[in-house]
């Protein structure tokens, strides 16, 4: 199968592998403790850990875009902020 | 661990959908991500560009202008369609033969394909053969939406209102007919005015369908492409170039795959965020509405 039209690069491959691994981790987590750990957080409605992962990833994307817009192209800092943000989401939302 | 029997075999039935979604959505999305960090001059050759395109798109006036235009357009059509839809729904009969007539008339614009809607208005606005253009010309008003940005906006907004107010009407009407007669009886006993009946009975009862109407119309208008493309083609100049039109121009018109991919990812993220808000609001405030209504009636 010729996949050259997809124009893979190493960074994007790593990106998707990380996303894929996150999904696998979530599946294993669900297997260990089923039900998704629902709770009502600071957003005042019920979220499961899947919702929290989605919010973390979506928020991280916007953090990276905001970093590009306001701070520059060194995205490691944005990555740091995103991880802090994800920790916040998983703890409080 | 809970003791509920849990059979994972059901996942096999979902497998075809997974494969279909993988081919139709995930693989193209992955390709777009790959394109967004590279530059191509065709011939399937790609050069690493990093985050250059994202920075370019985020800082480009063109993208911001399209975004602002799109948000302005959505705001304007919501401000017109929602009150108008409520008014029409309130004026529609609740009983008798005219109900079906009204419902069919209301549903008609929704049945017309989008590019045909654009073509209808294209002809409607022409000064030589179109009813609107001809009438305006006879009245001495110069109507040429190909040259005046204001007239282009007016005709696009009119077209959208004509096309989609019906949806708001039908949703509001379904909310209105679900109100039990007892509420109106109670209002009559209390001697409530027409306004108070609307404000304290009909509007609260329509709240959930209105929420759906607002969110649906917002999402649809935010992704509008076909109708303005057919009608004005994004012109005059760029004054009616909305995000989707701009995206197609970049990707297929200029063949700038990298910037177009970056732009579509940013667009996608905005739509994803709005969809999440839409979904959250629906599931937390809207989904329980039918149950509640059944209990109450």
Q: Give, as one character, the DSSP assignment of residue A45.
A: S
Pairwise CB contact (< 8 Å): A6 & B37: no
The residue in chain B having the minimum alpha-carbon distance to the alpha carbon of residue A9 is B34
Query: What is the model's pLDDT at position B297?
Result: 40
Q: Give, as one character, the DSSP assignment of residue B10.
A: G
Query: What is the model's pLDDT at position A64?
Result: 94
pTM metric for this prediction: 0.80
Query: What is the model's pLDDT at position A77?
Result: 92
Q: Give, as one character, the DSSP assignment of residue B9.
A: G
B23 interfacial to chain A (CB closer than 8 Å): no
Contacts of residue A17 in chain B, CB cutoff 8 Å? Answer: none
Between positions 10 and 69 of A, the ones with CB within 8 A of B are: 11-12, 15-16, 34-35, 45-46, 54-55, 58, 61-62, 65, 68-69
Cβ neighbours for B153, distance < 8 A, ≥ 6 positions apart: B239, B240
Residue A23 has pLDDT above 90, yes or no: yes
Q: Give, as one character, the DSSP assignment of residue A73.
A: S
Picking from B38, B51, B269, the nearest residue to A9 by CB comes out as B38
Residue carrying structure tokens 């905001």 = A66
Element (H, E) at B47: strand B46-48
Query: What is the model's pLDDT at position B293?
Result: 41
Pairwise CB contact (< 8 Å): B55 & A11: no
Picking from B38, B50, B284, the nearest residue to A7 by CB comes out as B38
Contacts of residue A19 in chain B, CB cutoff 8 Å? Answer: none
B40 interfacial to chain A (CB closer than 8 Å): yes
Looking at domain B60-296, what is its CATH homologous superfamily? MetI-like (1.10.3720.10)
Contacts of residue A7 in chain B, CB cutoff 8 Å? Answer: 31, 34-35, 38, 40, 44, 46
Query: What is the model's pLDDT at position B2?
Result: 57
Name the nearest CA neighbour of B65 among B188, B221, B237, B290.
B237
The ipTM assigned to this model is: 0.91
Locate the domains of chain B by residue range: 60-296
Element (H, E) at A47: strand A46-47
A75 interfacial to chain B (CB closer than 8 Å): yes
For residues A68 and B294, the model is more confident at A68
Exposure string of B33-67, with b = 16+ CB inside 10 Å and e = fewer, is bbbbbbbbeeeeebeebebbbbbbbbeeebbeebb
Q: Give the pLDDT mean for A42-66.
A: 91
Query: What is the model's pLDDT at position B4?
Result: 66
Contacts of residue A62 in chain B, CB cutoff 8 Å? Answer: 269, 273
For residues B34 and A72, the model is more confident at B34
Which residues of chain B are modeled with pLDDT < 70?
1-6, 285-297
The residue in chain A having the minimum alpha-carbon distance to the alpha carbon of residue B32 is A6
CA distance, residue A63 to nearest chain B CA (Å): 12
B25 interfacial to chain A (CB closer than 8 Å): no
CA distance, residue A10 to nearest chain B CA (Å): 10
Q: Give the pLDDT mean for A9-27.
A: 93
């Amino acid at each position: 199968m010729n996949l050259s039209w997809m124009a893979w690069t190493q960074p994007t491959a790593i990106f998707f592998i990380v996303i894929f691994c996150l999904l696998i981790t979530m599946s294993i987590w669900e297997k260990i403790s089923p039900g998704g750990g629902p709770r009502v957080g600071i957003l005042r409605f019920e979220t499961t850990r899947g919702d929290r992962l989605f919010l973390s990833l979506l928020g991280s994307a916007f953090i990276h875009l905001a970093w590009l817009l306001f701070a520059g192209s060194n995205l490691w800092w944005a990555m740091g902020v995103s991880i802090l943000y994800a920790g916040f989401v998983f703890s409080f939302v | 661990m809970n003791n509920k029997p849990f059979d994972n075999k059901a996942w096999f039935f979902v497998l075809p959908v997974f494969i279909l979604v993988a081919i139709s959505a995930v693989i193209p999305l992955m390709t777009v991500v790959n394109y967004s960090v590279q530059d191509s001059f065709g011939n399937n050759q790609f050069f690493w560009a990093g985050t250059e395109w994202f920075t370019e798109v985020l800082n480009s006036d063109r993208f911001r202008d399209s975004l602002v235009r799109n948000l302005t357009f959505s705001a304007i059509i919501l401000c017109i369609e929602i009150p108008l839809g409520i008014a029409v729904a309130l004026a529609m009969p609740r009983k008798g033969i005219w109900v079906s007539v009204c419902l069919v008339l209301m549903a008609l614009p929704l049945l017309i394909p989008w590019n045909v809607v654009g073509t209808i208005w294209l002809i409607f606005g022409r000064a030589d053969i179109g009813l609107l253009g001809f009438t305006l010309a006879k009245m001495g008003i110069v109507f040429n939406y190909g040259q005046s940005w204001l007239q282009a906006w007016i005709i696009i907004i009119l077209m959208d209102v004509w096309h989609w107010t019906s949806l708001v009407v039908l949703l509001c009407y379904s909310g209105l007919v679900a109100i039990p007669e007892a509420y109106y009886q109670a209002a009559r006993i209390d001697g409530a005015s027409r306004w108070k009946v609307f404000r304290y009975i009909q509007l609260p009862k329509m709240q959930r369908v209105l929420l759906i109407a607002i969110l649906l119309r917002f999402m649809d208008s935010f992704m509008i492409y076909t109708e303005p493309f057919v009608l004005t083609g994004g012109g005059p100049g760029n004054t009616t170039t909305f995000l989707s039109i701009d995206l197609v121009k970049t990707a297929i018109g200029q063949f700038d795959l990298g910037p177009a991919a970056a732009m579509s990812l940013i667009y996608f993220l905005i739509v994803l965020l709005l969809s999440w808000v839409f979904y959250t609001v629906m599931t937390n405030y809207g989904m329980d509405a039918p149950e509640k209504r059944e209990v109450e009636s």
